Amino acid sequence: MPRRFGLPSVYLAAAVVTAAATAVTTTVPLAMTPASGLAGRPQVTEPTRPYIVTARDRAAARDLVGEMRWRVRRYYTAALPGFATWLSAAEEAELRADPRVQALEPDRQIHPMNGRRPAVAQTAGGKGVTVYVVDSGVDITRGEFGERAWRAFDATGGTGQDCTGHGTQVAHTVAGRSYGVAPQARIASVRVLGCGGSGTLSDVLAGLDWVRRHARGPAVTNLSLDGADSPALDTATRGLVRSGVFVTAAADSGACRTARGGQAYSAAAPQLAGAAARHLELHPDTTPSFLASSLNCTTARGGIRQNPSRTSNLLLRGGGL
């Protein structure tokens, strides 16, 4: 089935937030101020489609944005050297041949992926660790989170409210007071999905861009989304890992796999995020790559257990890890 392309109509609030945070550290082309990444789309005779451009480095990204600034919708300042834009067929071909471009892909719809609930209730774990839930938002009014959850960023331009409940369920699995894997972890809601149940790749990248600029360790980012096979998303997650944030992402199958750099993929990604938070509570200086190598992603029954005396002994059990 061909992918559908549909973009939220409101980018202004998120773009203004991005511009304010960016002004201190990043030189933004003059034509893109004051709303970094937001520009009026000109009238063109050729049909255009939304794309994500990943440049080879930040200097190349700035040069490209300067040349195409009249159609740039988002300019990413931390997650990756690139931007979201509108392109005609001729412009797409020109950019694909440009040596400054590392990857070019259509902006597309991103959907949530359902995970599994933890098998055994936990009473403690994750204290001092922040888990950034990049999803549909989190209902922070639920008593199970207490004052540990807050609305950190909304890439859709809304208020951060969870319309569908998916992000709230993910947060519940990670750190809910009743059955959360790490019930003492903090939850930062990063909303990238709309009330229709889906979002766009460009908004997901905006969420990761915000996390990259604001995350303070020890920290974990959870992406229970279907963003596989995206070069831009892969670049953004690897960059986040290099900054010291452990990343857990959804996978199609129940098997859990870890990347050497420090990402983990599982159908039970929220449980994995909670287990990582429990480990980081005891070993806050653990690097993402070492944490990834410490995860024993095997299917077993029982609870999630840790041996505090051995940093390499983190056994994840339950939820098909």
CATH of the domain at 39: 3.30.70.80
Residues 146, 99, single domain; the answer is no
Cβ neighbours around 11 below 10 Å, total? 24
User: In terms of C-beta density within 10 A (0-12 exposed, 13-18 middle, 19 or more buried), how is residue 114 classed?
Assistant: exposed
Backbone angles phi, psi at 2, to 5 degrees: -65, 150
Tell me whether residue 95 is in a domain: yes
Tell me whether residue 6 is in a domain: no
Provide the residue range defining the domain that includes 140.
Answer: 130-315
Q: What is the mean pLDDT of residues 259-263?
A: 76
* Position 259 pLDDT exceeds 80: no
Give the separation between CA 38 and CA 83, rounded to whole angstroms: 11
pLDDT, tens only, 43-60 = 556 789 999 999 999 999
Residues 53, 20, single domain; the answer is yes
Tell me whether residue 78 is in a domain: yes
Residues 145, 291, single domain; the answer is yes
Percent pLDDT > 90 in the chain is 56
Residues 162, 209, single domain; the answer is yes
- Higher-confidence position of 102 and 120: 102
Total domains in the fold of the chain? 2
Average pLDDT over all residues of the chain:
79
User: In terms of C-beta density within 10 A (0-12 exposed, 13-18 middle, 19 or more buried), how is residue 268 classed?
Assistant: buried
pLDDT, tens only, 211-230 = 999 998 899 999 999 877 89
Residues 238, 174, single domain; the answer is yes
Residues 21, 156, single domain; the answer is no
Tell me whether residue 113 is in a domain: no
Strands 130-135, 186-191: pairing kind: parallel
